[in-house]
Structure 1
Amino acid sequence: MGIILVVGSVLLAKTFILIGRPINSHVDQQAINQIDAVPTLFLPGYFGNRFSFGFLLRRLVKKYGANKSLVIIVDRHGKLRLIGDFVDYRCLIQVIFQDKRSRPKQQAEWLMRICDLLANRGVSTINFVGHSMGCITIFWFLTHHQHDIPVKVNRVITIAGPFNDSEIAKNTRDVEDYPIDSTGPQQKTAVYRALAKKVTAMPRGIKFLNIAGTISSSQQNDGQVSLTSAFSLRYLLRDPIIYYRELVIRGSRATHRLLHENRVVDAHIAKFIWNV
């Protein structure tokens, strides 16, 4: 038993290291169209780490010929440490915040530093994929730093975003599920109201794919975020006319923590970003 535990611990430690490192497809391809040439940044949720998107990124490399060529680690003071470099073809960038308790407002400021770095490296256009609180960080970034963003944001994928929850970094006793009608949520939380304040300032032309999960027909949530909260995003985006699509993932692998480990989600990410 002791030997098994030691071997298991070694394998876990090795996986932990590798999942936060670049991994390329080794497919010798040049971007033949503008879509393939746009790098995509992945932002984890609250208390997220390298595991948050690590396995998903590895699957995108293996199945879709993408390249997780760069990992950007943001320390507690906002200093950036880069592991790897850019590639021209389907570049995936994993963002890891060392301060696991940092909130969207702070993360959005650090995201500006990342975009400045990318612009200085010759990047002109980017995509975003966020999970849970990472969705809020992206939205805050787009609405509060819109005049300073040095790159164009092309496509955004939000996964299980708590857009109408009262707390974005802590689970409430019950999953918050406020009815929505043609005008939006019937009860708007402080989070929703804060996001709505500057939504008209969001850069134009961004395409959104909003993904949410339901565990069963009787449980219209992913265990932490309800469909109504996640899909409240559609009302935030309605004023600035923006391309917007919704996707519901159902079943046992549609829980909050498993949505980014769902192969159906993988396929829709690839389709939305690269049109494959």
Structure 2
Amino acid sequence: MKKKLKWLLLLGGVLLLVVVVMGILQSYRSKAEEKYRQTATPTFFLHGYGSSYRAEQQMTDSAVKAGAATTVVRANVSTAGKVTLTGSGWNSKTRNPIVEINFAGNRNRNYQTTASWVRRVILAEMKIHHFKKYNFVAHSMGNTTFMNFILNRKLQTGMPQLAKQVALAGSFNGVIGLDDQANRNSLSANGRPRYLTENYRYLVNQRQNYPQQAEILNLYGNLEDGSNSDGRVTIASARSLAYLVKKRGKSYREVELKGKKAQHSALHNNQQVNRYLINFLWGK
């Protein structure tokens, strides 16, 4: 009899624990639903030159932890452009899914090629989920790839609508040590750079193709060390995005982050960046 009572008490304790845990989870979900929009719109994250999906994980983990996003899928792209999706995917009940893009050819500077890879990733997900809108977040040269994708009319055939774009440390008009140098460039009153790289000149000629419904958040760093840069990308290069999109997109906002934590590679591990990104993409 005592043994039976012991098991009943143990079972009751387990059931009580389950109820408490479920109540906490439901409360957490309710709070997240109050703070963040609940949509089926996926958000794609793209790393920069020589990097990988690992550079995106601190940002994506932060979004999931905050309750702003609910699942993460990875899209691996081979050097030949073949897309392989990993992860549990998402269903009709999933809200604010995230897709981390991982380029095996992460040192490829042929932006028309890497832009076509972005298209293949989106198409691969569309075959499964049939979404009509998407968001896009890119770091460093990932932004150059994305701009070559979004401004290319041919690559936009059959694509869903871009809803929101987040640019982080975007090398839109050059990289220090490659095709730019600290304090060499400046922007005119209308935002046009004084010096244009070859790729930026191409983007300027295609800027009329930028989607009018898109909202843009441009985050860039300033080490405050006299270089007017984040160590790799100058403020002038990062702010060159405005000349491409400001008169086309629905809205445009710039945010300058300052100090040591605004260093180029540190920006995707920056808590301020996480807050700006989460609120912009999903905040009510």
TM category (shorter chain) comes to 0.7 to 0.9
Q: CA deviation at 1:96?
A: 0.1
RMSD, aligned α-carbons: 2.6
The equivalent residue for 1:77 is 80
Question: What is the CA deviation profile of residues 93-137 of structure 1, one whole-angstrom value per residue up to 9, with x for unaligned ones?
Answer: 100001122232111111111222222222211100000111111
Between the aligned residues of both structures, percent identity stands at: 26
Q: Of residues 51, 54, 59 in structure 2, which corresponds to 1:56?
A: 59
Residue 163 (str. 1) matches residue 167 (str. 2): no
Give the match for residue 122 of structure 2: 115
Deviation per residue, 1:165-212 (Å, 9 max, x gap): 1x59x6468436411121311222212201111110222211110110
Give the equivalent residue in structure 1 for 2:220: 212
Residue 95 of structure 1: aligned partner: 101
CA shift for structure 1 position 59: 1.8
Where do 5+ consecutive residues of structure 1 fail to align?
1-24
Which of 1 and 2 has greater Rg?
2
CA distance in 2, matches of 1:200, 1:35: 31
TM-score between both structures, scaled by the size of structure 1: 0.82
* 1:225 maps to 2:233: yes
- Cα–Cα, structure 1 residues 152 and 241, in superposed 2: closer, same or farther, change >3 Å? closer
TM-score (norm 2): 0.80
User: Contact 1:143–1:202 (CA<8 Å) still a contact in 2?
Assistant: yes
What is the letter of the counterpart of residue 249 of structure 1? Answer: L
**Shift in alpha-carbon separation, 1:177–1:154, aligned structure 2, 3 A:** farther
Larger mean CA deviation between 102-111 and 246-255 belongs to 102-111
CA distance in 2, matches of 1:65, 1:271: 9
Inter-CA distance 173–231: structure 2 relative to 1 (3 Å threshold): closer
Partner Cα distance (1:78, 1:187) in 2: 33
Which residue in the other structure is 1:181 paired with?
A: 188
Query: Which stretches of structure 1, 4 residues or more, deviate above 2 A after TM superposition?
Result: 25-37, 170-177, 238-242
Q: What whole-Å deviation, never above 9, does each CA across 1:221-241 have from its counterpart, x for those lacking one?
A: 100111111001111124425
The SS at the match of 2:221 is strand
More helix per residue: 1 or 2? 2
* Equivalence for 2:264: 256
- Choose the corresponding residue for 1:134, options 142, 154, 157: 142
Give, in whole Å, the separation in 2 of the partners of 1:270 and 1:256.
20
